[in-house]
Amino acid sequence: MSRVEVIGPATLYLGDSYEILPTLGDQDAGVFDPPYKFSTSGGGRFRKARPSMDQIAAKGLDQGFDDTIVSPARFRSVAVFCHNDQLAELLPRMAARYHRVVVCSWHKTNPLPVANKHYRPDTEFWIHAWLEGAHPVGTLADKARWILSESGRFSGVAHPTVKPEPVMDKVLATMNAASICDPFMGSGSTGVAAIKRGLGFTGIEVDPAYFDIACGRIAEAVRQAEAG
């Protein structure tokens, strides 16, 4: 492990989550936005409109992850983002580990104008799974299975798959936990949402440039929270 930053109620690790997570002990709840497994090829004449696809491929963010890291021995509840193409494989694996499993969705108000031989890229999914007693909490509105939000690509954050804050806030609204762990922290969107909700946060990110962005964003969220 090369670096640990403690920023208010957040502890951020620069390194490989498969190595670091086992050293941290039990975590309340996990929010996973790992590299998706999907094809970044193609795009035809619209490819130029999707420069983020090249960045995603260059960073290996289309290569998937080892889902055994989503362990009920460590996390009582989890939210796991994934690509449409991963649902068929991931759902039975989560159902075998957790008491209940629900598919929730983020519908983009400004999806890219592409489709080729598939549907438009207007919906992303997260699987919310929990052990008995760690069921979803929140208001009736919080418990909607979907959110409408624009894409993160206009957020100004230099990460090709940054999640918008409203999406991460929606995910956290139902998590039955005082502290959230995000082993694929990226630019720190989960951490920002957690700090704004008054939750503790543990984040792990392997890419030093993304780690620095996360540190800056989370420090700013802590500063704002402390300023009231």
Residues engaged in binding ligand SAM (CB under 6 A) = 16-18, 33-35, 61, 159, 161-163, 184, 186-187, 189, 204-207, 210
CB of 204 to ligand SAM, least distance (A): 5
Instruction: Rank residues 25 and 133 by Cβ distance to ligand SAM and give the closer one.
Output: 25
* Residue closer to ligand SAM (CB basis): 153 or 159: 159
Q: Is the dihedral of CA 175, 220, 57, 124 positive or negative?
A: positive
**Of 24, 10, 13, nearest to 179 (Cα)?**
10
Position with the least CB separation from ligand SAM: 186
Residues for the chain: how many in total? Answer: 228
- Alpha carbon of residue 222 to chain centroid: 20
* Helices (H), ranges, 68-187: 87-97, 165-173
Pick the closer one to ligand SAM by CB: 99 or 216. 216
Smallest gap from residue 33 Cβ to ligand SAM (A): 4
Give the shortest CB-94-to-ligand SAM separation in angstroms.
18
Minimum CB separation from ligand SAM for residue 70, in Å? Answer: 13
Choose between 76 and 163: whose C-beta lies nearer to ligand SAM. 163
Task: Locate 113 and state its tokens.
Answer: 């104008």
What letters, b where the CB count within 10 A reaches 16 and e where it falls short, cover 50-87?
bebbeebeebebbebbebebbebebbbbbbbbbbeebe
Measured from the CB of residue 117, what is the shortest distance to ligand SAM in angstroms?
25
